[in-house]
């Protein structure tokens, strides 16, 4: 299977120490280079950067499956065991969910577990896990 290109994503945060705890300790990302205003993270092989930027923009939500999905959002597609392990770590840490972990499209193409939460700076994240990874791009 060919290697999937790695992405680079930079997001604003208002507290680098909170970002270190959330992304480094809770999610388990290895920290790379950093300065007084940014931190590079290894997000499952992708270059993810938190930049110090105290001002936040207005939040937007779109209705999906009866939930208000925060936009923009980003995240990872994990295996089902990784998904449930991460959900358990979030629960144990007292992390609040925007949308609690649940199973979408059960028995249909694209069946997946999904959860949404905010990092300490208010960036929306979605983590998901597909029953069949070959259906990541399945059309309904």
What is the residue-wise DSSP string for 64-128? ETTEEEEESEEEEEE-HHHHHHHHHHHHHTTPPEEEEEEEESTTSTT-EEEEEEE-TT--EEEEE
Reported confidence tier of residue 1, pLDDT bands at 50, 70, 90? low
73 with 131, same domain: the answer is yes
34 with 74, same domain: the answer is no
38 with 97, same domain: the answer is no
- If one counts the domains in the chain, the total is 2
**pLDDT recorded at residue 17:** 97
73 with 43, same domain: the answer is no
Range of the domain at 32: 7-54
Residue recorded with tokens 């270190």:
20
For residues 113 and 86, what is the distance between their CA atoms, to the nearest angstrom? Answer: 12
The model's pTM: 0.86
50 with 74, same domain: the answer is no
Does residue 79 form part of some domain? Answer: yes
- For the segment 5-56, what is each residue's pLDDT rounded down to a tens digit? 888 999 999 999 999 999 999 999 999 999 999 999 999 999 999 999 877 6
- For the segment 96-108, what is each residue's pLDDT rounded down to a tens digit? 999 999 999 899 8
74 with 21, same domain: the answer is no
Does residue 46 form part of some domain? Answer: yes
């Amino acid at each position: 299977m060919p290697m999937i290109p790695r992405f680079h994503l930079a997001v604003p945060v208002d507290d680098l120490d909170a970002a270190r705890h959330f992304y480094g300790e809770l999610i388990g990302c290895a920290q790379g280079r950093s300065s007084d205003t940014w931190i590079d993270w290894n997000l499952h092989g992708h270059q993810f950067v938190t930049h110090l930027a105290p001002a936040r923009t207005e939040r937007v939500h779109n209705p999906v499956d009866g939930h208000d999905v925060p936009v923009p959002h980003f995240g990872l597609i994990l295996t089902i065991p990784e998904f449930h392990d991460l959900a358990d770590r979030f629960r144990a840490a007292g992390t609040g969910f925007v949308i609690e972990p649940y199973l979408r499209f059960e028995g249909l193409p694209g069946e997946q577990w999904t959860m949404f939460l905010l990092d300490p700076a208010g960036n929306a994240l979605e983590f998901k896990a597909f029953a069949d990874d070959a259906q990541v791009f399945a059309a309904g």
